[in-house]
C-alpha cells in the first residue's frame, strides 16, 4: 500500500502519523509521535488516508483509542508519554565500563577489543588508575550506577577487579548509589575461590556463547582446551550456586551473548538449543560489528544483512515454538524493541534517541583514558582516538560529560535530525550508533540507507510488527512475558554496609 495508489486523499481528519507497509502481509503500520501504533489492513488504511472512516465504526474507535484522529487527539497523553519515554535524559551515565586489561587467554576470530597476549602486562589497569576511575564514576548524576568489568579477559587482572569492588563499595557509603557490578568474562580463568568472592559481592556474571561446541571452539580458540566446554561447566556451576543461595533461577542466571558470524547463519536451531540446554534464558542474536580484528577478518566473517534477517526470523520463530512448549527463552533484541513498543523505554543505551555515549555510559581504558562508550575504546585501541574525552588523572566529571564530542554524539544520534530516520515509522522505538557510522562512513551521522545497523533494526521491527499484526494470542502471550521487567534486587549493593 502506497499513498500514491489512492485516488483521493483528505488529510483533514488524521493526527500526525508515519506509516509503513509490512512486507507480505497486506497490512500497514501506523506510528505516532509518542510511540503509539496501530496495524491496519490495506483497505482500512485507504479509508484512513482518504478521510473516509465511517462515524461510529469500530475502525474509528480503534484509531481514536490509539490517538490517530485529530478530532479526539489527546495532547496531554501524547506529551506525557513523549516525556516519559525520554526520562533517561535527566540522568547521567549509569553504565561505566572498566577495561581492566587487554590481556586474554582466548583468541576470537572477530575480537572487537583487539585483545593482547598474556605476557602484555603493560595493558593491565593499575589500582591507582582504577581508584581514580571509581572516584569519577561516583560523581555521576545518575542514582543507578553499574560498573562493568571488561577486557581482554578481566579475570586476568583479578586483583584490580577485587580492589575496585572493595573501593567502590567503600566510596558508595557516601555516594549512596544503587550500585551494581557486572563481570563480562569467558569464564575460563574462574576457580572456586574467585567465584566465591564474586557471588559474595553480588557480581552479575555475563559470558559469550557462540552456539554449539564445534562452532564456539572454531571461533574462540583456547590453547590446551575447549573454550565451550569450560564456559558450559562454569555456567552450570554458577547457576547451581544461585539455586543453592535460594534465588529464583528464572531471574538469576548467567547471561550469555552470541556474536553472529557467517558460520552461525545456518545453525539457528543449534544455537537456540545450545542456549536452552545451558539454562541461558536470554539469547542476544547480535550481528558482528566493524571494530577491532574485524577489519582484518571481515572477509571470512561478514555476511549480507538480508541473510542475517533470515537467520533471525528462523531463530525467533523457533524460540516462540519452544516457549509454547514450556521452555522459557527470550531473544534480547526482540525484548528491547517489544518493551519500547508495548510498554515503555527500557533505556537500552545503544538503541535510544539520543544514544548513550557520554550521557548514558562511559568507558575507562586500562591506561586511564576515558572514552564515550565501549566502541570508542575499541576504535582507540585500533589507533583512532576520536572518542577519547578525558583522562582519569586530569579530567573532572563535568569536563567529561560536557565534552564537545559527547554533545556532537548526542546530536548525531538524535533521530529527529537524521535523514530517513526522521520519516521512519520506527522512529519512536529506534536508535543509531555514532561510532558505527564513524567507522563505516567516516562521519558520526552515517547514511541510514547504506547502514547495516539500520537494516537490522528495521528488519527486526518489521518481523515483530508482522507478528503483532497477526494477533495470535499464544505469540502475544510470549511477547508480553518478554517485556516484563522484573528487578534483580539481589545484585544491588547495600550502600550502608559498603
Partner 1 sequence: MSEPFKNPLVSTDLSKGSVLLEVDAAVYPLEALYGASYVFIDRAFVFLEKPNEQRYRVTISPKKPGADEAALQALVGEFSNELLSCAWRAQITQANRAVIEAVTLRAVAGAMGPPSLSELANFDFTDAPLEDPLGIAMSWEEKYKKKDKKPDAPVAAAPEKTAAPEKT
Residues 337-376, mask of contacts with partner 1 (x by CB under 8 A): -----------------x---xx-----------------
CA–CA separation, 335 vs 125, rounded Å? 35
CA–CA separation, 333 vs 312, rounded Å? 10
C-beta of 450: minimal distance to partner 1 in Å?
Answer: 7
* Near partner 1 by CB under 8 A: residue from 146, 418, 452, 483: 418
Give the burial class of 40: count Cβ atoms within 10 A of its Cβ; 0-12 exposed, 13-18 middle, 19 or more buried: buried
Nearer to partner 1 by C-beta: 53 or 410? 410
Nearer to partner 1 by C-beta: 159 or 402? 402
Say which residue the cell 553480588 belongs to.
202
Give the burial class of 176: count Cβ atoms within 10 A of its Cβ; 0-12 exposed, 13-18 middle, 19 or more buried: exposed
Report how far apart, in Å, the C-alpha atoms of 211 and of each of 40, 260, 266, 306, 322 are: 38, 9, 11, 20, 17
353: left (phi over 0), alpha (psi -120 to 50) or beta: beta
Q: Are strands 144-150 and 95-99 parallel, antiparallel or unpaired?
A: parallel
Applying CB under 8 A, the span of 150-158, 228-236, 414-422, 464-472 interacting with partner 1 comes to 414-422
Applying CB under 8 A, the span of 90-98, 196-204, 224-232, 489-497 interacting with partner 1 comes to 90-98
Q: Indicate whether 401 belongs to the interface with partner 1 (CB under 8 A).
A: yes
What DSSP string runs through 363-394? Answer: EE-TTSEEESSHHHHHHHHTT--TTEEEETTT
* Near partner 1 by CB under 8 A: residue from 295, 416, 472, 477: 416
* Near partner 1 by CB under 8 A: residue from 445, 475, 492, 498: 445
| CA dihedral (299, 303, 305, 306) positive or negative | positive
* Near partner 1 by CB under 8 A: residue from 72, 122, 141, 229: 141
Q: Per the structure block, which three cell numbers stand in for 309? A: 534477517
* Near partner 1 by CB under 8 A: residue from 127, 162, 407, 490: 407
Q: Indicate whether 441 belongs to the interface with partner 1 (CB under 8 A).
A: yes
C-beta of 93: minimal distance to partner 1 in Å?
Answer: 7
C-beta of 202: minimal distance to partner 1 in Å?
Answer: 27
Q: Indicate whether 394 belongs to the interface with partner 1 (CB under 8 A).
A: no
C-beta of 88: minimal distance to partner 1 in Å?
Answer: 8
| CA dihedral (226, 229, 234, 235) positive or negative | positive
Phi and psi angles of residue 351, each rounded to the nearest 5 degrees, phi first:
-130, 75
Give the residue among 109, 106, 199, 110 at the shortest CA–CA distance from 154: 106
Q: Is the peptide bond before 99 cis (omega within 30 degrees of 0)?
A: no
* Near partner 1 by CB under 8 A: residue from 23, 304, 385, 402: 402
| Chain centroid offset of residue 254 CA | 17
Nearer to partner 1 by C-beta: 109 or 406? 406
Helix (H) or strand (E) holding 19: strand 18-22
47: left (phi over 0), alpha (psi -120 to 50) or beta: alpha
C-beta of 350: minimal distance to partner 1 in Å?
Answer: 15
Give the residue among 70, 32, 28 at the shortest CA–CA distance from 53: 70
* Near partner 1 by CB under 8 A: residue from 422, 474, 480, 494: 422
* Near partner 1 by CB under 8 A: residue from 32, 35, 93, 459: 93
Nearer to partner 1 by C-beta: 372 or 483? 372
CA–CA separation, 466 vs 476, rounded Å? 12
* Near partner 1 by CB under 8 A: residue from 237, 313, 332, 447: 447
C-beta of 212: minimal distance to partner 1 in Å?
Answer: 39
Residues 174-193, mask of contacts with partner 1 (x by CB under 8 A): --------------------
Residues 18-37, mask of contacts with partner 1 (x by CB under 8 A): --------------------
Q: Indicate whether 89 belongs to the interface with partner 1 (CB under 8 A).
A: yes
Which residues form the interface with partner 1 (CB under 8 A)? 86, 89-93, 140-141, 354, 358-359, 396, 398, 401-402, 406-407, 410-411, 414, 416-419, 422, 441-443, 445, 447, 450
Amino acid at each position: 500500500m502506497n499513498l500514491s495508489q489512492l485516488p483521493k486523499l483528505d488529510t483533514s481528519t488524521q493526527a500526525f502519523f508515519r506509516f509503513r507497509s509490512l512486507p507480505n502481509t497486506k497490512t500497514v503500520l501506523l506510528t505516532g509521535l509518542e510511540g503509539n501504533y496501530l496495524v491496519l489492513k490495506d483497505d482500512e488504511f485507504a479509508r484512513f488516508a482518504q478521510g473516509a472512516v465511517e462515524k461510529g465504526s469500530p475502525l474509528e474507535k480503534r484509531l481514536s483509542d490509539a490517538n490517530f484522529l485529530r478530532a479526539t487527539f489527546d495532547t496531554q497523553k501524547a506529551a506525557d508519554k513523549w516525556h516519559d519515554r525520554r526520562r533517561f535524559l535527566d540522568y547521567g551515565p549509569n553504565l561505566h565500563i572498566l577495561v581492566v586489561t587487554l590481556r586474554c587467554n582466548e583468541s576470537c576470530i572477530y575480537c572487537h577489543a583487539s585483545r593482547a597476549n598474556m605476557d602484555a602486562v603493560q595493558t593491565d589497569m593499575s589500582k591507582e588508575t582504577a581508584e581514580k576511575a571509581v572516584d569519577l564514576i561516583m560523581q555521576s548524576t545518575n542514582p543507578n550506577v553499574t560498573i562493568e568489568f571488561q577486557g581482554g579477559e578481566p579475570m586476568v587482572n583479578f586483583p584490580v577487579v577485587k580492589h575496585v569492588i572493595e573501593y567502590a563499595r567503600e566510596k558508595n557509603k557516601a555516594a549512596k548509589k544503587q550500585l551494581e557490578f557486572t563481570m563480562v568474562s569467558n569464564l575460563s580463568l574462574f576457580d572456586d575461590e574467585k567465584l566465591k568472592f564474586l557471588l559474595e559481592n553480588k557480581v552479575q556474571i555475563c559470558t559469550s556463547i557462540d552456539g554449539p561446541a564445534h562452532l564456539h571452539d572454531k571461533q574462540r580458540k583456547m590453547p590446551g582446551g575447549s573454550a565451550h566446554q569450560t564456559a558450559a561447566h562454569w555456567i552450570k556451576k554458577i547457576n547451581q550456586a544461585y539455586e543453592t543461595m535460594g534465588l529464583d533461577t528464572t531471574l538469576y542466571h548467567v547471561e550469555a551473548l552470541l556474536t553472529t558470524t557467517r558460520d552461525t547463519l545456518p545453525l539457528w536451531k543449534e544455537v537456540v538449543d545450545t542456549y536452552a540446554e545451558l539454562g541461558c534464558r536470554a539469547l542476544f542474536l547480535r550481528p558482528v560489528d566493524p571494530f577491532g580484528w574485524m577489519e582484518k577478518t571481515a572477509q571470512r566473517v561478514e555476511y549480507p544483512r538480508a541473510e542475517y534477517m533470515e537467520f533471525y526470523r528462523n531463530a525467533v520463530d523457533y524460540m516462540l515454538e519452544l516457549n509454547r512448549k514450556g521452555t522459557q527463552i527470550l531473544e534480547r533484541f526482540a525484548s528491547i524493541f517489544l518493551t519500547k513498543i508495548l510498554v515503555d523505554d527500557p533505556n537500552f543505551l545503544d538503541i535510544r534517541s539520543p544514544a548513550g555515549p557520554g550521557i548514558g555510559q562511559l568507558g575507562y581504558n586500562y591506561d586511564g583514558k576515558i572514552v564515550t562508550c565501549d566502541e570508542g575504546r575499541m576504535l582507540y585501541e585500533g589507533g583512532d582516538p576520536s572518542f577519547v574525552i578525558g583522562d582519569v588523572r586530569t579530567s573532572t566529571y563535568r569536563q567529561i560529560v560536557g565534552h564537545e564530542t559527547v554533545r556532537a554524539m548526542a546530536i548525531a544520534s538524535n533521530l529527529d535530525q537524521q535523514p530517513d530516520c526522521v520519516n521512519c515509522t520506527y522512529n519512536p522505538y529506534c536508535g543509531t550508533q555514532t561510532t558505527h557510522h564513524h567507522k563505516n562512513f567516516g562521519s558520526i551521522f552515517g547514511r541510514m540507507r547504506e547502514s547495516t545497523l539500520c537494516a537490522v533494526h528495521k528488519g527486526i521491527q518489521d518481523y515483530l510488527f508482522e507478528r503483532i499484526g497477526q494477533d495470535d494470542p499464544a505469540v502475544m502471550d510470549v511477547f508480553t512475558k518478554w517485556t516484563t521487567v522484573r528487578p534483580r534486587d539481589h545484585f544491588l549493593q547495600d550502600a550502608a554496609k559498603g
